[in-house]
Amino acid sequence: MKKIIYTLLLLTFTISTGFAEDGSILDTISANYLEQIPFQMEYKIIQNFARSEVVQEDIGQFYLHTKDIFRVNYPSSQILFDGAWLWSIDKVNFQIVVEEFDPSSSLRLIYNVLNGNMSEYQVQQIEEVADTNLMKIDLKSIDDNSFFKNMIVTIDPAEKEIRAVEYVDFQETSIVIEFLEYYSHKIDEKVLFEVKNIHEEDFIDLRP
């Protein structure tokens, strides 16, 4: 799940200057999200595992407090990014793990998209979705070592919103992130980083 969460963060985006015409669409969407900060977004992640018929669906809430601070809520866990370190809170086992923000995770992808950090991707193709007002943008990484080689972003240009992101990760898992409703929402920072029922012995610090 942590890998999925990081993709959420690659997405409010700025495309490379070599694609000014296409990038302007993405820049407009990115600017729309950044103007709404702070806000909370509901999303659904659908994972189709390779060589398996198992399909897993999870729904979460992604709260962007500033460009550099966010929180993600799941029924049994919570993830916080304070701008420097990622804090994973297990509500069932009452445990906290603090570590570096993994660049290969889905949460990182979502974070980058919502913040305009897409300069390592180039637009390959843009096409309209039949019988809708939506458009699909095919993006390819300019870095051969990137964790996310290709992705397809579905957007609503009229509403200036992202509807979905599709990609296949390095484990050959097919992943679709559906962006649901979002709304203005502000949380006091004292509450945002408040952690309850966690004792010192249940704190795992993996920072270098």
DSSP string, 109-122: HHHHHHHT--TTEE
What would the two tokens of residue 89 be? 């809170």
Q: Other CB atoms closer than 10 Å to residue 116's CB: what's the count?
A: 20
| Segment 122-167, tens digit of pLDDT | 788 889 999 999 999 898 877 765 666 788 989 998 898 889 989 8
The total number of structural domains that make up the chain = 1
Rounded to 5°, angle at Cα 59 from 56 and 63: 140
> Could you read off the pLDDT of 71-119 as tens digits, one per residue?
888 888 888 888 888 888 887 888 889 899 876 676 777 777 776 666 6
Mean pLDDT of 179-208: 75
pLDDT at 133: 92
Other beta carbons less than 10 A from residue 152's beta carbon: 16
Residue 1 has pLDDT above 80, yes or no: no
Q: Which two three-digit tokens encode residue 15?
A: 């495309």
Looking at residue 24, its amino acid is S
At 24 the three-state DSSP class reads: helix
38: helix, strand or coil: coil
Say if CB 206 and CB 87 are below 8 A apart.
no
63 or 195: whose pLDDT is higher?
63
Segments forming the whole domain that contains residue 86: 2-205
Query: Per residue in 35-56, pLDDT tens?
Result: 888 888 898 989 898 777 888 8
| pLDDT surpasses 70 at 199 | no
- Strand bridging mode 8-11 / 39-48: unpaired
Kindly tell me if the per-residue pLDDT of 201 is higher than 60: no
Q: Domain of 179: which CATH number?
A: 2.50.20.10
What's CA 4's distance to the chain center, in Å? Answer: 8
Alpha helices, H only, the chain: 2-7, 20-36, 106-115, 189-192
Residue with token string 């804090």: 87
Tokens of 100: 């570096």
Check: pTM over 0.85? Answer yes or no: no
User: What pLDDT shows up at residue 20?
Assistant: 35
Q: Per-residue confidence at 67, pLDDT binned at 50, 70, 90? A: confident
DSSP summary character for residue 128? E
